[in-house]
Structure 1
Amino acid sequence: MTHPSPHTAHSAQEHDAGDLSELLDLDAEVLAGHLASLVARLPVTDTPRHLLDLGCGTGAGTFALLDRFPRAEVTAVDSSPAHLRRLHEKAAAAGLADRVHPVAADLDAEEWPDLGAPDLVWASAALHHLADPERALRRVRGLLAPGGLLAVVELAGFPRFLPADAPAGAPGLEDRCHAALDRRHAAHLAHRHENWAPLLRSTGFDVEAERTLAIEPGRGPQAPSDREAVARYASSALRRVREAVAAELTPRDLAALDALLDPDGPHALARRNDLGVRTTRTVWAARPTV
């Protein structure tokens, strides 16, 4: 299979509206231990050699899979040129360029490029973005090598970082931001909170395992300990939230959010000592029905 270079395929594209590179890199940095624990618990029966990462972003799943399976190669698929460029840079810097094959593709397109016959397909925070995830799952079923495994991973929305009573001038701010974000997403992300087990079964899979893992401050090997990295992650995430919901916030809430996001202000996120990452990830592991 021939894998196009992201630098060649996307050199004419100067702007990528879907660029979440900074946020995705911070998520990978802060939650590396959590992601490693997810990958470690996958119910693999044989050592996979050909891995497929659908909606790979900047490679958090790609590199976690390569750490777990050091003899494998990953075909990493994303529709964002910026994400694929960043993935290529990270793979080269880690000496893994020969094991990571970026492919530009829209998973909602009528046709997919040749993605081979993977032993393991990883789809993290990807399926809920699709207009027709049922069609995508049927395609994955057709791609998988005999006995292959599909792992679907979804987050329970954007992570939360502040205590419930913060900030002092607008307690509960983050809850209100998330409620506004949920209303916005409901209009165009119909599968955002999907229970994927029924759809997996209806598209020809047996669900072998379903597991929900919580991320909470200071708990478990997946808990982030780097305060500065958590602050950067919170800042990047809350900037994205502000872009999406500013028009729905009250003046008081918007002012409180801006105060948190002002890196030089007295209420900046980086000055807080009570930040933490709270969210959950659910993993569905499935194999094609025999």
Structure 2
Amino acid sequence: MTRTHTPTHGSNHHGEAEILDLDAQVLGEHTAALIDRLPLHAPPRRIVDLGCGTGAGTFALLDRFPEAHVTAVDTSAAHLQRVREKACARGDEGRVRTVQADLDAADWPDLGTPDLVWASASMHHMADPGRALRTVHGLLAPGGLLAVVELSGFPRFLPADAPEDRPGLEDRCHEVSARFHAEHVPHRGADWGPVLTGAGFTVEDEHVITVDTGRTDGAEGVRADRTEGARAEAVRAYALSSLRRLRRSVADGLAPEDLAALDRLLDTGGPGSLLRRDDLTVRTERTAWAARRPA
């Protein structure tokens, strides 16, 4: 799942899938860096991706560990279908097994005995994360590793002085969003170290990766070639999809003038559209915990 902030719960699977795919495209190198840092004793052969979404972690793990097989688990049948389609397109259908499961349920399906469990942007959506982590502890092979990755919050895209008619709009949206999520997603932003320890794990590493993709106009040392042009388009699309999602949680708490300004940014045909801006970045932080089941 990744996202952002990328839940598998809810009914808007198409919108979620779009954000998850863009997240994988824009933040792929940071995911790879997180995987490279894992304190593994040996390359894992059996991996479980919990809350896999549309497969950002699944395929990054397959790329890093060419001998591995991944069991991709999610609540969304639509997301899992997309994972299967991607696996087939890559020629990896024999290395990916998909399992639809509600990770809030007391009983999980058989996920084997993995060497590595990857849980990116999924733990904070669970009703009882402690119980889920105890379940993971029980299924991991002795000495196996669990990686929990979480975003610090919703990514930011706009400069502080944007938009011109309502500078600081994104900050105010984040303030409203934080209040909304404190009520509806209480585990977002949690310190997972003590929770992991309480579930029987030994936390071996905790670190933060700062994400800043650079401006979409090729400034500040970013190459303005075809690759960067494609990246800029992906950042704009990611910003648009993400801020559309953000609007749903902040609309009732924003001042009318701010909501109108946000809508102008989201109006793809208007002069103030995000898609017309050349100053967007993706800025956030990812925190990763690596926790081992004692041998």
Structure 2 length-normalised TM: 0.89
Match of 1:92 among 88, 93, 108: 88
Tell me if the contact between 1:49 and 1:73 (Cα under 8 Å) persists in the aligned partners.
Answer: yes
Cα deviation for residue 248 of structure 1 reads: 1.4
Partner amino acid for 2:102?
Answer: D
Are residue 264 (structure 1) and residue 260 (structure 2) matched?
Answer: no
Q: Secondary structure at the match of 2:251?
A: helix
| Pairwise CA distance, 1:258 | 1.0
Q: Displacement of 1:188 after TM fit?
A: 2.1
Which of the residues 238, 257, 278 maps onto 2:283? 278
Say if 2:143 and 2:294, in contact at 8 Å, map to a contact too: no
Partner Cα separation in structure 1 for residue 254 and residue 27 of structure 2:
29
- Counterpart CA distance in 1 for 2:66 and 2:270 is 45
Cα separation, partners in 2 of 1:173 and 1:285, compared to 1, 3 Å: same
Residue 187 of structure 1 corresponds to 183
Q: Which residue of 1 aligns with 2:7?
A: none
| Counterpart residue number, 2:249 | 244
2:183 equivalent to 1:178: no
Code of the residue aligned with 1:282 in structure 2: it is T
> Which residue number in structure 2 is paired with residue 128 of structure 1?
124
Give the counterpart letter for 1:47 in structure 2.
P
For residue 29 of structure 1, the aligned residue among 20, 25, 37 is 25
1:220/1:86 Cα in 2 relative to 1: closer, same or farther (>3 Å)?
Answer: farther
- Asked whether 1:74 is paired with 2:74, we answer no
Count the aligned residue pairs: 274
Per the TM alignment, residue 289 of structure 1 is displaced from its structure 2 partner at its CA by 3.3
Q: Of the candidates 250, 253, 256, which is equivalent to residue 258 of structure 2?
A: 253
Deviations 1:169-216 (A, max 9, x none): 111111111111111111121211110001111111111100100001
- Note if 1:44 corresponds to 2:40: yes
Structure 2 residue matching 1:111: 3-state secondary structure: coil
The letter of the residue matching 1:29 is Q
The CA deviation at 1:25 is 0.3
Q: Does the Cα contact within 8 Å between 1:161 and 1:275 map onto a contact in 2?
A: yes
- Counterpart for residue 163 of structure 1: 159
Measured in 2, the distance between the counterparts of 1:197 and 1:187 equals: 22
Residue 137 (str. 1) matches residue 115 (str. 2)? no
Q: What is the CA–CA distance in structure 1 between the aligned matches of 2:221 and 2:163, rounded to whole Å?
A: 26
User: CA shift at 1:275, angstroms?
Assistant: 0.2
Contact 2:142 2:294 in 1 (8 A): no
- 1:51·1:121 contact (CA, 8 Å) conserved in 2? yes
- From 137, 142, 146, give the equivalent of 2:142: 146
Q: Structure 1 residues 105, 27: CA separation in 2 closer, same or farther (over 3 Å shift)?
A: same
Task: Measure how far apart 1:16 and its partner are.
Answer: 3.7
CA distance in structure 1 between the partners assigned to 2:235 and 2:33 by the alignment = 19
C-alpha distance in 2 between matches for 1:48 and 1:101: 16
Q: Secondary structure at the match of 1:187?
A: helix
Name which of structure 1's ranges 81-90 and 25-34 shifts more when overlaid on structure 2: 81-90
Q: Relative to structure 1, is the Cα distance of residues 183 and 18 closer, same or farther in structure 2, using a 3 angstrom cutoff? A: farther
- Residue 108 (structure 2) pairs with residue 108 (structure 1): no
1:67 Cα deviation after fit: 0.5
Unaligned 5+ runs, structure 1 = 1-14
- For the 8 Å contact 2:48–2:71, the answer to whether it is kept is yes
Q: Deviations over 1:21-55 (max 9, x none)?
A: 00000000111111111111111111110000000
> What amino acid is the match of 2:157?
F
User: 5+ unaligned residues in a row in structure 2: which ranges?
Assistant: 1-9, 215-219
Residues 1:197 and 2:193 aligned together = yes
- Measured against aligned partners, the alpha-carbon deviations of 1:71-125 in whole angstroms (never above 9, x if no partner) come to 1000000001221111111111111111111100011101000000000000001
